[in-house]
Chains A and B, each alone.
Chain A
Amino acid sequence: MAELHCSVCGQSNPEDLEVCQFCGASLLPPPGAGSDPSPAIRPGEQPTRKNTGELEHALPSWLKTLRSGQDENNTPDADPDTEMPGLGKATPPADTSGDASDWLAGLDSAASEDEDEIPEWMAGLGVSTQPSFQDNTSELDNLDQVQPDADLLDLLKNAEADLAPVSGEPARGSLLNWEAPHPTTADLFPPTETNLLGTPAQEKPASEAIPSAHIPDWLETLHSKTSTHEIDPGISREEPPDWLSSLPALQPETPSPAPEFKPDWLSKLQGEGDQAGQESTPQASDPAETPGWLASLGVEAGPSATAVFTDEPAPANEANLETPDWLAQLKSDVKTATEADLHAQEFETASKPFQAEISSEPLPDWLSGIGQQDSSATGAPALVVSGESESPVETGQGAFSLETPDWLSRLRPEREPESVPATQEGNQDDADTTSLPEAELPSWVQAMRPVESVISGSAPSSSEEMGSSEGSGPLAGLRGVLPASPGFGVMRKPPAYSIKLQVNESQHRYAVQLEKMVQDEGKAREVPPVQPKANRVWRWLISAILIGSILLPVLTGTQISPELQLYPSEWARTGVLLNEFPTNSAMLLVFDYEPALSGELTASAAPVISTILLRGTRVALISTTPTGPALAEQFMESTQQDHLSRGTQVVNLGYLAGGPVGIQSFASDPLGTINLTMSGAPAWETLALQGVKQLSDFSAIIILTDNADSGRSWIEQTQADLGDTKLLLIISAQAEPMIRPYFDSGQVHGLVTGLVGGKTYEQSYNTPGLARDYWDSFGLSVLAVEMMVTAGSLWGVVKAWQNQKKNRGEA
């Protein structure tokens, strides 16, 4: 099933619908849309000649009138392309004789029908009631042909008298702009206000048209005054006529002009007229010299422009029935646009008849100045003599194309059924008019169409597409200029789309995987512990093995380790030193080791000290560490208790402060460095230190140390003061590498190193002691350590080899 797309909202509609079910716009194609629309006539382009004889009955009466006059003045061969019928020529009275050409056929009947519809008040005026556009333009040109009619003023008075019972707008509108059209008014549109003026001339035959050479006196006078721009100051002081004096009484009845009802373009146009009028007639605008109503009249020069669009309902309706569609629509729009401004122009429209009266007879002085003022202001004389500067054709063209505002030029005259009032009902020409296709327009009508260069982009559009008409503002009366609702298109409820994502199974699976990956990235990675249990176990295992290996010989009392078979190399010199140690001599015993290593040093030094003490040696104890004196006390009490009980002289000199400095001081001046013993007695007065005045008085200095620095300090600082004193170092095994050089160099005379040194001394002198007690445990624990280190090292080698192999495999 075919669908129709709405040109407004774009929605698809069933074919059988005539109105869009979405926006209500008509779906019917605009007239002529299906056929080839008549394009605009381009400048210099010749309209197409067509036979429109059968359409003559549809022509409006004013056109028929024009044609009749044209036939009389022009030859039948007159080119309609070059001479616009009814526009530039003086329109003769409608000749309804049957000798008219074929294209004027049916003109009489149409005219008779139009005449039947003329209102009575208009009939009383004896003017044409066909305010068609072309008619107005032609009548504007015929304005110069108006003869001074003595009855015109009377007719106008009668019309004014009829103004009250009849709707004011038509009467006033018909009398508008009599005094002076605005310059732009004459150019923009055919001056409708000249309808009344031209109507008498229009009814006159063309032969009666007065050429420019036969301008009547009153009109010449008017022209002369217009050209001279002179205003008689006494005019304003004169009393207006009686009928004119009643005009101000109408003023309160007129509604106050509402600015909001005036379109901007109209106000601007009016303002220009005001400005021009003020510039040209400064005296006339003086309120002190002119009546109030006249002053405002003079200021309101714009009404001439607005009067073009004044509404005349009945004549307009008649014109719509007989004019082309586009022209009728345009006119109806124009009328609609000016409806809002009518009330504001009542005053001006009411003044028009008087000016018409003035123009029809010798004008009073005061009124002639008005016409002079307005004509001078507009620059385009209200009454143009035929054959003057511009031809009627040019005037008509200018009115349609050249001077038309852009906004109006772009508007295609609409054909809106709703705009046509009910007056069309019962009109038999209605069907004929609406059925007239635009493609069948006569050539002369085509020539009247807007030129494309001026009215560019005026695409034909139906009234339905244009939407509703504007009721106020500068676009009042225009239809479809603005969208019906805010925005660029028709507002409608947006289609509802489901927000639920339509995914298939695979996409859902991928989304789940992606979500899981994102969540995993946000989680903190758990770092596995670095085998704390294994280390702890291994440490406990190592400790157990070591403790077990140490306690096993002690608890069992077995000797699993054989005696020392190889003596250390330093034993030869140390043994000789101990063998040559003098008896009853003083010995300085230095305890410079930490309590942690007391087990090793005690076992190493105990047999040596014991051997020395056997020779009656006196001992002086000293230490360079704070814990040294206590260690010395503990050492002597624990290992040399037998010697002490036998009266061995031992004196504890205590702590020697200052490190190397203290050693040096003590070496250089023992008496001056240490005066008191640990018990507070004079040190150098004790039996142990009798005969000792200096360092060299000691027979030997035995240094027990586990620290190479401490041993080095004693060696270095006492080297100058030793003399013949022997220096023996009993050191820990860990200090051997640093102390051995001093032994090898001869600065140290004897050296006992570690448990091995003590065992060697015991074994040499066959005095078993601590060294022998520790010997088995020492040997077994060291063996355990050797085995564990060997096993661990082999496991490490294998593991490293596996790691390398694994890395190579991965690479």
Chain B
Amino acid sequence: MKLKGLFSTIIAVLCGLVVLAGYFVRLDLFVSLSRTLIEWAIILTAFAILLGIMNLLLVHFGKIRKKEKGVLYSLILMIALLATFAIGLAAPYFPIVTPVFNFTFRAIQLPVEASLMAILAVTLTFASIRLLQRRFNAFSVIFIITVLLILIGTAPLPFLGSLPMVSDNLRPFLAQVLASSGARGILIGVALGALTTGLRIILGVDRPYGGKNG
């Protein structure tokens, strides 16, 4: 192992141990050290978002310079990004700009994303209609039946309301028993995986920051 890798590994292990000790050992030293390290991580994460925005700008700027396909979209993106960024920077210091900032969000971003979700609703409906035509098997049938039961049990039927046995028994059983059971298994697995990953990083086995196994 090179000195650089050794040094980075030592830093990573120490940081993990300190943060972990901040949870279990309520000493001011560990707690303060733990908070300091976490704050550094938050700053780095925020700066990473900023780096992502800058990278997005450079990529689309390159496309515009090379006159690649979709230059117009890149140009619109850059203009909107720079404008929103400028308004966002000016909003705290210029209260008159705040309504403009809120308007751009409400008038552009919110409807656009909501429209995408509406299109998704249409697409999922179409896919559910053609599911058995494309793939007629037991799992597809189970999937379709489950969808229908959940929809019938969730939404009120016009002029009918809730269907007996479906809304009060079948739908809760599917959503709260079967689905929750599966979700709990997933969550437990995620927790064990996170624990194992944390231990491996603390012990220096995994070095995602660079190194032999990184």
Residue positions of A touching B, CB distance < 8 A: 535, 538-539, 542-543, 546, 560-566, 568-569, 594-599, 626-627, 630-631, 633-634, 637, 657-659, 661-662, 664-665, 668-669, 672-673, 678-680, 708, 712, 720, 733, 736-738, 740-741, 744, 754, 756, 775-776, 778-780, 782-783, 785-786, 788-793, 795-797, 799-800
Contacts and interface: CB of A to CB of B under 8 A. Distances in A.
B196 interface: no
Contacts of B151: 782, 785-786, 789
B154 A679 contact: no
B110 A668 contact: no
Contacts of B184: 741
Q: Is the interface of A mostly helix, strand, loop or mixed?
A: helix
A792 B128 contact: yes
B122 A797 contact: no
A734 to B, nearest CB: 11
Interface string B148-179: 10011011111111100001100010011001
A738 B148 contact: no
B38 A665 contact: yes
Contacts of A797: 132, 136
B200 interface: no
B132 A792 contact: yes
Interface size class of B (residues with CB under 8 A): 35 or more
Contact of A775 (B109, B156, B187): B156
Given A562-B160, A800-B132, A782 B155 contact: yes
Given A599-B114, A738-B187, A783-B158, A630 B129 contact: no
Contacts of A795: 132-133
Contacts of B110: 595, 598, 631, 634
Given A538-B126, A658-B42, A566 B167 contact: yes
A780 B157 CA distance: 7
Contacts of B70: none
A634 B114 contact: no
Contact of A756 (B43, B122, B154): B154
Contact of B136 (A744, A756, A796): A796
Given A569-B176, A665-B42, A594 B113 contact: yes
Given A596-B113, A662-B45, A790-B148, A778 B92 contact: no
Contact of A595 (B35, B109, B186): B109
B156 A740 contact: no
B10 interface: no
A740 B156 CA distance: 22
Nearest to A754: B154
A778 B155 contact: yes
Nearest to B159: A560
A672 B42 CA distance: 12
B176 A740 contact: yes
Nearest to A775: B156
B133 A542 contact: no
Contacts of A633: 102
Contact of B156 (A564, A569, A598, A733): A564
Nearest to B136: A800
Contacts of B112: 595
27 contacts: A538-B129, A539-B122, A542-B126, A546-B125, A561-B157, A561-B158, A561-B161, A595-B112, A657-B42, A657-B46, A658-B42, A661-B38, A665-B38, A672-B35, A673-B39, A678-B92, A733-B154, A736-B179, A738-B186, A740-B179, A782-B151, A789-B129, A790-B148, A792-B129, A793-B131, A795-B133, A800-B132
B185 to A, nearest CB: 10
A120 B121 CA distance: 140
B117 interface: yes
Contacts of B59: none
A659 B159 contact: no
B182 interface: yes
A696 to B, nearest CB: 15
Nearest to A742: B187
A776 B158 CA distance: 7
Contact of A737 (B129, B132, B152, B179): B179
B125 A788 contact: yes
Nearest to A678: B92
A658 B109 contact: no
Nearest to A668: B35
A800 B156 CA distance: 32
Contacts of B73: none
B102 A630 contact: yes
Contacts of B80: none
Nearest to B39: A665
Nearest to A744: B180
Contacts of B113: 594-596, 598
Given A562-B160, A736-B175, A796 B132 contact: yes
B23 interface: yes
B122 A789 contact: no
B11 interface: no
Contacts of B46: 657-658
B147 interface: yes
Given A678-B92, A797-B132, A562 B125 contact: no
Contacts of A637: 102
A690 to B, nearest CB: 22
A336 B89 CA distance: 126
Given A561-B158, A596-B117, A737 B180 contact: yes
Contacts of B136: 796-797, 800
A788 B42 contact: no
Which of B42, B92, B186 has the most chain A CB atoms closer than 10 A to its own CB? B42
Nearest to A626: B49
B96 interface: no
B82 interface: no
A732 to B, nearest CB: 10
Nearest to A780: B158
B89 to A, nearest CB: 11
Nearest to A716: B191
B154 to A, nearest CB: 6
Given A595-B109, A795-B132, 6 more contacts: A626-B49, A657-B46, A740-B175, A741-B184, A796-B133, A800-B136
Contacts of A565: 161-162, 167
B144 interface: yes
B45 A741 contact: no
Contacts of B114: 595-596, 598-599
Nearest to B182: A737
B186 to A, nearest CB: 7
A82 B167 CA distance: 143
Interface in B24-74: 35, 38-39, 41-43, 45-46, 49
